[in-house]
Amino acid sequence: MTSSPSEPSRFDAAITGARNGDPIAVEELFRELQPRLLRFLGSQESRAADDLAADVWLAVASGISRFDGDWPDFRAWVFAIARRRLADYRRTAVRRRTDIVDVDTFDRHHAHDSPEDEAMDKLSGQQAVALITSVLKGEQAEVLLLRVLAELDVEQVAAIMRRSPNWVRVTQHRAVRTLAKRLGPKIVVMR
């Protein structure tokens, strides 16, 4: 299909088809969101990203009949499910063994001649996620990833994280400032 689910008529058709079990409609929604979903989950729990994404899509499949909204609402709904699955996974992780990563692993992102140009021109989506998560920790990384990968607005991120929109804006601003210090002065700030 050449059109994107972000077009209102295409999204309505895709949701209706997915609710009726149309594999092409389901595939269209999956193809549009899966790469972003994997990057988000991989940035938070790299070893479990595929399993968590599968759990998210199972939850989407079981709840799609109750979903009501447009394309941005759908993206927010999917990423809210992802965040809940991630929280569930982390709660159970306390009982599992963890491997410590060497500090040198995080020092692989060195600037060359023009780090701001390289960051904007050459980084793939996964490299950008790796850079964000190597520089930012916790909620700052999560806010920036939800804003960039999921293309969610401030209000949607606030609802997902159960915070105020102002908290999201401040956290995003701090995250971008931290990235700017690391990458150089020419970083673009989202509004």
What the block records as the tokens of 178 is 């931290």
Identify whether the C-beta of residue 81 lies closer than 8 Å to the C-beta of residue 60: yes
Q: In the chain, which stretches have pLDDT less than 70?
A: 1-4, 6, 94-124, 185-191
- Any idea which residue has 């759908």 for tokens? 74
106 membership: H or E segment, kind and range: none
Q: Which two tokens stand for residue 48?
A: 């479990």
DSSP string over 116-127? HHHHHHT--HHH
Distances (CA, A) of 61 to 14, 30, 44, 90, 121: 13, 11, 23, 23, 36
Determine the pLDDT at residue 4: 65
Q: What local confidence, expressed as pLDDT, does residue 89 receive? A: 92
Per the listing, tokens 């293309």 go with 151
Q: Using an 8 Å Cβ cutoff, are 159 and 168 in contact?
A: no
pTM exceeds 0.85, yes or no: no
What pLDDT shows up at residue 82? 96
- Predicted pLDDT at 98: 57
> Which pLDDT score is estimated for 114?
47
